[in-house]
Chain A
Amino acid sequence: MAENLKEKIKKMAKMPSKEIKSVLPGVLGEVEKFGIEKMLGEMPDLYVRLIAALTKIDAAKFGTEAPDSLNKFLSLFWDGLIAVGSKNKEVIDACGKIPEGVKITQLSINFEATDSPLQAHFIVNDKASFSYGLGLLHFKDQDFKIYGPTESLMKLFLGEATLGAWSELDYEGHIGPFGLKMSPILRALFAISGSKN
Chain B
Amino acid sequence: MRILCLVKRVPAPGARINITEDEQYVDDKNLGHAISPHEECGVEAAVQLIEAHGGEATVMSMGGADSEEQLRAAVSVGMAKMVLVPTDGSPKDPQETAAALTQAINDLEAAEGAFDLVIFGNESADQGGFQVGIRVAHALGRPMVNGIKGLSLEDAPEGHIIARREVDAGFEVYELPMPACVGVKEGINLPRYPTMKGRLASKKAELGTMEAAAEAGGQSQVRLKSPPEKVSETVILGNGPEAAPAVVDVLEELGVL
A and B bound?
A: no
**Interface residues of A, Cβ cutoff 8 Å to B:** none
